[in-house]
Amino acid sequence: MDFSPVERENGSFQQSVTADQIISMCRRIFGDGAGVVSADELGNGMYNNTYRVDVADVGPVILRVAPEPSRQFGSERELMRSEYASVPFFAPIAPLVPRTLGADFTHEVIGRDFLFQTLLPGRPVPQALGGYDRQLWPSLYRDLGTIAAKIHAVRGPAFGSIRNPQFARWSDAFVALLDGLAADVDSVGLDSADIRQVASIAGKQQAVLDEITEPRLLHGDLWTVNVMLVEDAPQPTITGVFDNDRTLWGDPAADWTIRMAAKKPGTERDAFWETYGAPSTTPGAAIRSLFYEARHVAAIRLERHRLGKTEDVPETYGQMRDIIEKFHA
């Protein structure tokens, strides 16, 4: 078969599989007689390895391969299994979500979780959006607002992990998220004192967090990099949403989508709120937004270290100091 992996430096977090392993994975899911015509690794993800694989008598499919267990942080443990478990809860946007064709979490084939999905039509937003006049970009963000609202309307049984929600209170689930990130930051030799300080503040302000009483579905990573656009449409139109492995039951305001929509006010991103609805402006919501930003900054710190972007790690400490100062203002 023709095989085109992404060339990476030695020691990079993402480790490509081999051509023989791809053949073995295809035969595991599609049968011993499955023939593999080609496999091309897609380089737009930063956690799983993703391949476009052309399987004889099946057609083009997407193969996603998780990192080896020993390379996964505790806060990112078995994300692919969370994605697999979350698919039925994305029913309100089912036509936009890739279908799972098969998955293997036994580690009998390559020692890593992997799954096959249908290939979504269209082009990724980072590749396609620049072809449109900027005056048309609000259409994309209105679509994102509609999609996020449908996701956030889905109710869950408890707060926490999509696979095993175990917290009756949002405050307990949120502090557990911060504690997990702090432990991971410690494990790589970075200072987690500021993350633990935010967790301590959250413990003292449980009442504010617990104004959120109903667990809702959070995508965890819904933004332009994980969205496909219809090819050659007169305006940017979403045809697919993927990478839902960071799903969570929690407060919709804590979702990555909300952070990104609010990040650049006065731009085309404002169109997001036209379809999603205006964000809450209560005093409690303002305090919670500080907690949620702290969690995002902690996760960004960990990701930058994981990707070898050590020169960008110090910035997160300044950002966290600013957040903590606002708590005490």
What CATH number has the domain bearing residue 53? 3.30.200.20
Return d(Cα 267, Cα 138) in angstroms, integer. 9
Q: Residue 66, class by beta-carbon neighbours within 10 Å (0-12 exposed, 13-18 middle, 19+ buried)?
A: buried
292: Cβ contacts below 8 Å, ≥ 6 apart? 251, 253, 254, 258, 259
Same domain, 92 and 138: no
Same domain, 77 and 189: no
H or E segment and range at residue 118: strand 114-118
Tell me the pLDDT band of 246, cut-offs 50, 70 and 90.
Answer: very high
3-state secondary structure of 23: helix
pLDDT in tens, 33-65: 999 999 999 987 889 999 999 999 999 999 999
pLDDT in tens, 164-176: 889 999 999 999 9
| Domains: count for the chain | 2
Same domain, 166 and 112: no
Of 118, 149, 169, the position where a domain reaches its end is: 118
Same domain, 127 and 52: no
Return d(Cα 275, Cα 269) in angstroms, integer. 11
State the CB neighbour count (10 A cutoff) for residue 203: 14
At 318, list the tokens. 């300044």
Of 57, 88, 118, the position where a domain reaches its end is: 118
Of 98, 118, 138, the position where a domain reaches its end is: 118
* pLDDT on residue 214: 98
Same domain, 48 and 187: no
Please check whether residue 216 is in contact with residue 252, taking contact to mean a CB–CB distance below 8 angstroms. yes
* pLDDT on residue 11: 81
Same domain, 100 and 180: no
At 204, list the tokens. 């003292």
Is 82 a residue whose pLDDT tops 80? yes
Please check whether residue 187 is in contact with residue 173, taking contact to mean a CB–CB distance below 8 angstroms. no
Q: What is the CATH number of the domain that holds 219?
A: 3.90.1200.10
User: How many helices (H) does the chain have, and how many strands (E)?
Assistant: 11, 12
Same domain, 243 and 299: yes
146: Cβ contacts below 8 Å, ≥ 6 apart? 275, 276
Distances (CA, A) of 200 to 22, 243, 253, 284, 291: 46, 31, 21, 17, 11
What does the pLDDT average to over 133-162?
Answer: 97
Same domain, 163 and 309: yes
The share of the chain scoring above pLDDT 90, in percent, equals 94
H or E segment and range at residue 59: strand 59-65
91: Cβ contacts below 8 Å, ≥ 6 apart? 154
Nearest to 171 by CA among 83, 292, 296, 257: 292
* pLDDT on residue 126: 94
Tell me the pLDDT band of 10, cut-offs 50, 70 and 90.
Answer: confident
Is 225 a residue whose pLDDT tops 90? yes
H or E segment and range at residue 256: helix 256-262
For residue 255, give its domain range. 123-328
State the CB neighbour count (10 A cutoff) for residue 51: 25
Same domain, 111 and 223: no
What does the pLDDT average to over 222-248?
Answer: 95
197: Cβ contacts below 8 Å, ≥ 6 apart? 324
